[in-house]
Structure 1
Amino acid sequence: MAALTGLMFILNSCGAYFNQPFQQTPSRVGEFSKSTQGLLDLPEAADRVEVAVYNFSDQTGQYKPVENGSTFSTAVTQGATTILIKALEDSGYFLPIERENLSNLSTERSIIRNTKQEYIKNLNPNEPPLPPLLYAGLLLEGGIISYDTNIVTGGIGARYFGIGGATKYRQDRITIYLRAVSTSNGEILKTVYVSKTILSQSLDASYFRFVKFQRLLEAETGITRNEPLQIAVKDAIEKAVHDLIIEGIEDRFWSTKAGKETNKELVENYVKEKEEEESIELYNRVLKKRTAKSILSVSGGASLFDGDYTEKQPGYLARLEYQQKITNNLGFGLTGSVFKLDSGKQFSDMFSDASLNAYFNILPDDDLSPYIYAGGGVVYNIENSTEQKTDTFLKMQYGAGLKYYLSQRLGLKLFAEHNISFSDQLDSMVNGKRNDFYYNFGLGLDYYFNF
């Protein structure tokens, strides 16, 4: 798994490696973020809403990290208000009104008004007066409230005989809140919360080796790619504006020009997307709420005996199991199995066992969930029950497995189990101080239900 992850990372970084800049480039139109197209593709609005943004600022108070010394450069752009106004304009649902530099606007209007008054007085009494300023029905407030660094770091590397390579990555996270406030009564109509991760990657390779006596060959290459923080802020703000528009349509604050059917489709798609995103935790784990408390399982597999005979051959295993959840992580289960323990020509018998286990699910809300269990039970020799005095033995067992949920009702599981008997007579032979034990390996199908 680690090797596959490293390979994918290396291939992804090669795009940057083979597109290295070797000359200056001219200015260009600003790049789209991942959310820009979704904002531009919104249906046309029925009416544009006048909106004012006084200040949408960096509220983190963080300075840019450096390896040595200190810096007074901020970690987050201070131009978030400008980015927000651009997103509002691009959406087509809002008519932004200048409020960030209102004093400049007021000063200029005073100059115009004084000039017009002089013009009217001396030259043209019919000169129209300066029109009034637009006023906003909606205020947008909020800001960048969090910038978390190194929420995930990692990498992979190897070196052999002076030849080596390594990849590293780091993930940061920015969070914004955007709220809409009614200017008529000060009511907060909507609050939107959006987060965006910021990825940094590096790829390095080196060669270090003596090729001849006192002749050392050393070579290094590498590339580092950092996601621009400004693009990440732009992405988060555009996503917040998009979500604010859809939630406003849902609550009938505004509407699309196409009408109810388009409104309904937009809201349904948004609700579905929101449910999927809310089921994903910080580290991209998809969580699903599972309501079933009971599990019926059928499994098949192999058994491997480790007794007093040196020869060991796999036998088959069939198992029926019932589990009951106590909490989301804990549960207990009853297991009945039929299996064959085989030591070749020396020993081969059929057995059955019954076990009671306690289970601990490590990631119960993930689609792929490892689990561990332990308990005790009895094992019974089916074939030789009439030939030997002792045919029932006490035992204990522990094991681990991996579950994969196909749906809310069905799942697959893979498990491995170690069974330790409290007797040395499972193979009808007593030899040495160690009791007999055996392993079970299986693949099963789970059915989840409630009584």
Structure 2
Amino acid sequence: MNKSPLFLFLIICLFSGCGAYFNQPVGVQNAVYGERTPATAKLVEMPKPKEQIVVGVYKFKDQTGQYKPTELGSTFSTAVTQGATSILIKALQDSKWFVPIERENLGNLLNERNIIRSTRQEYAAKADPNEAVLTPLLFAGVLLEGGIISYDTNIITGGFGARYFGAGGSTQYRQDRVTVYLRLVSTSNGKILNTVYVSKTILSQSIDASLFRYVNLNRLLEVETGFTRNEPIQMAVTEAIEKAVEGLIVDGIKDKLWEVNAPQKQVDDFVAEYDKEKSEADLAELYNRNISENKRGRFGLEASGGIAVMQGDYPSPEPKPMVRGAVKFFFNPAFNLSASTNAFKVGNTGRLDAGYVSLDLNLECLILPRDVVTPFVFAGTGIEFNKKAENLHSKAQFGAGVEYLVSSNFGVKLYGEYNIAFSDNVDYIVSGVRDDFYYRVGLGLTYYFPKATNYKKK
């Protein structure tokens, strides 16, 4: 039993899962400076302004009102950080575009300034007319308002697992999402100059593997391993806020609210990159689905191969090879007509080995035409005949499959179809009252002509 390939494979998978334990935090760790997010690097590398903008942030707060979900009951711990104002001020400083001034705890600042004045007046040995007075506070040209407006849990959950004779493993995942809004307000007239909306997903994963097996009559082997990884919510909030600050800066450049201290070409390239990202975001739906109008060209050529299985009057059907070539015409993104030529064999062990050619016309429907992966269904009619152009039958067929777009021009598809011949002579024997039928299963590649031949936008 221990030498079986399946057992060895499971043992390898088991110990590969234990790799997460080779770097466990088993000791006391020193304090470290906070990690940078991917948005931090882009914020720091942005072109710098000709003059920094004085900005005030009174409160950038959690507006979700949510508490951490627990399985045991209620909790008073909030779902997201209550220190978003500090995160925003740090992002403003990192960008080098703004001079943040203290407004969140303005009362503390004013009290301290009053203490300084009182101390100077009451305890100074003698008044010095040349002594510098307390400098005035800066005032902000713009204010930043907004907050964390939603925290959605379990927007996607799923997993996979398998177990065989006490050995197996499983994986589970969950995705949450946090959303922030940030708006820029002019202090001179109260006008809202810009608003930015950014969302960030939060991923949680768990993987485990186990083995529960009697190695002999009196000895039981039980092994378990696994790990769980949760993306920190604070890091997700930080990245979303930094991304929002970046958006405010670029939108301000485009609206000529401020000037950039950089060559015009560098500014144009930077803005173009931002516009491209925004246009892609405008085409995106929830769950990172891209809803660009047409992912496939209007015309396509398909080549596929597979097997055909006869279901006729003879017993013991054998899978036989099949090849197919097809031409597709899309009259809208979801529906197309497919004309195909199929060469295939059907057979039964020791009884039948016959070759056929079929000409099929199908109407196909893509269930998710704007997604990279889409299931599809099809139905149609056709004729079939042998290599001598004899034994001609009409038929109908229907089926289903799934297609994955490797690129904008190539798609890989896996499909199965059910063919009903309107004849009982496909296997060259007429017996009983039921007509013959057969299955075909294929794997193919479709080439879609470039988008220049695509549909016109309506």
Q: Which TM-score bucket, shorter chain as reference? A: 0.7 to 0.9
AA partner of residue 62 (structure 1): Q
* 1:274-289 pair list within 5 angstroms: 274-289=278-293
Cross-structure match for 2:275: 271
Q: 1: CA distance between counterparts of 2:415 and 2:182?
A: 48
Per-residue CA deviation, residues 214-271 of structure 1 (Å, 9 max, x unaligned), is 7766554443332222222112111211222222222222233123222112111222
1:321 paired with 2:322, answer no
Residue ranges of structure 1 left out of the alignment (5+ in a row): 1-5, 386-390
Q: 2: CA distance between counterparts of 1:98 and 1:43?
A: 25
How far has the Cα of 1:368 moved from its partner?
A: 3.0
How far has the Cα of 1:40 moved from its partner?
A: 1.7
Deviates most, 203-212 or 153-162: 203-212
Cα contact 1:255–1:263 (8 A) shared by 2:
no
Q: How many residue pairs end up in the alignment? A: 437
Question: What secondary structure sits across from 1:432 in the alignment?
Answer: coil
Cα contact 1:411–1:445 (8 A) shared by 2:
yes
Q: 1: CA distance between counterparts of 2:94 and 2:113?
A: 27
How far has the Cα of 1:341 moved from its partner?
A: 4.1
Cross-structure match for 1:438: 438
Question: Structure 2 length as normaliser, TM-score?
Answer: 0.82
Question: Structure 1 length as normaliser, TM-score?
Answer: 0.84
Q: 1: CA distance between counterparts of 2:14 and 2:289?
A: 23
* 1:369-448 pair list within 5 angstroms: 369-380=374-385, 383-385=388-390, 392-405=392-405, 408=408, 411-440=411-440, 441=442, 443-448=444-449
Deviates most, 105-114 or 208-217: 208-217
Residue ranges of structure 2 left out of the alignment (5+ in a row): 1-9
Question: What secondary structure sits across from 2:138 in the alignment?
Answer: coil
AA partner of residue 193 (structure 1): Y
How far has the Cα of 1:442 moved from its partner?
A: 5.7
* 1:31-110 pair list within 5 angstroms: 31-110=35-114
How far has the Cα of 1:339 moved from its partner?
A: 2.8
Cα contact 1:256–1:262 (8 A) shared by 2:
no
Q: 2: CA distance between counterparts of 1:408 and 1:362?
A: 18
Deviates most, 171-180 or 247-256: 247-256
Q: 2: CA distance between counterparts of 1:318 and 1:219?
A: 49
Question: What secondary structure sits across from 1:403 in the alignment?
Answer: strand
Cα contact 1:303–1:339 (8 A) shared by 2:
no
Cross-structure match for 1:230: 234
Alpha-carbon distance change, 371 to 12 in structure 1, aligned in 2, over 3 angstroms: farther
Identity among equivalent positions (%) equals 49
Cα contact 2:396–2:421 (8 A) shared by 1:
yes
Alpha-carbon distance change, 397 to 30 in structure 1, aligned in 2, over 3 angstroms: same
Cross-structure match for 2:3: none
Alpha-carbon distance change, 340 to 38 in structure 1, aligned in 2, over 3 angstroms: closer
The partner residue of 2:177 within 173, 192, 195 is 173
Q: 1: CA distance between counterparts of 2:168 and 2:328?
A: 51
Cα contact 2:305–2:443 (8 A) shared by 1:
yes
Per-residue CA deviation, residues 78-110 of structure 1 (Å, 9 max, x unaligned), is 110011111101110000011111112222223
1:364 paired with 2:391, answer no
Alpha-carbon distance change, 316 to 46 in structure 1, aligned in 2, over 3 angstroms: same
Alpha-carbon distance change, 382 to 250 in structure 1, aligned in 2, over 3 angstroms: same
Alpha-carbon distance change, 30 to 318 in structure 1, aligned in 2, over 3 angstroms: closer
Per-residue CA deviation, residues 112-151 of structure 1 (Å, 9 max, x unaligned), is 3344455799522333333221111111111011111122
Question: What secondary structure sits across from 1:143 in the alignment?
Answer: strand
How far has the Cα of 1:444 moved from its partner?
A: 4.5
Per-residue CA deviation, residues 329-385 of structure 1 (Å, 9 max, x unaligned), is 3x2425242535454985635444343x33221221123333111133444557254
Q: 2: CA distance between counterparts of 1:84 and 1:12?
A: 41
Cross-structure match for 2:5: none
Alpha-carbon distance change, 11 to 91 in structure 1, aligned in 2, over 3 angstroms: farther
Deviates most, 16-25 or 217-226: 217-226
Cross-structure match for 1:142: 146
Q: How well do the aligned residues superpose, as a CA RMSD in angstroms?
A: 3.4
Cross-structure match for 1:3: none
Question: What secondary structure sits across from 1:236 in the alignment?
Answer: helix
Alpha-carbon distance change, 143 to 163 in structure 1, aligned in 2, over 3 angstroms: same
Q: 2: CA distance between counterparts of 1:137 and 1:12?
A: 57
Q: 2: CA distance between counterparts of 1:313 and 1:154?
A: 35
Alpha-carbon distance change, 10 to 193 in structure 1, aligned in 2, over 3 angstroms: farther
Alpha-carbon distance change, 32 to 406 in structure 1, aligned in 2, over 3 angstroms: closer
Per-residue CA deviation, residues 398-428 of structure 1 (Å, 9 max, x unaligned), is 1223334455555454443221112112344
How far has the Cα of 1:178 moved from its partner?
A: 0.9
The partner residue of 1:129 within 111, 123, 133 is 133
Cα contact 1:174–1:197 (8 A) shared by 2:
yes
AA partner of residue 264 (structure 1): D
AA partner of residue 100 (structure 1): E
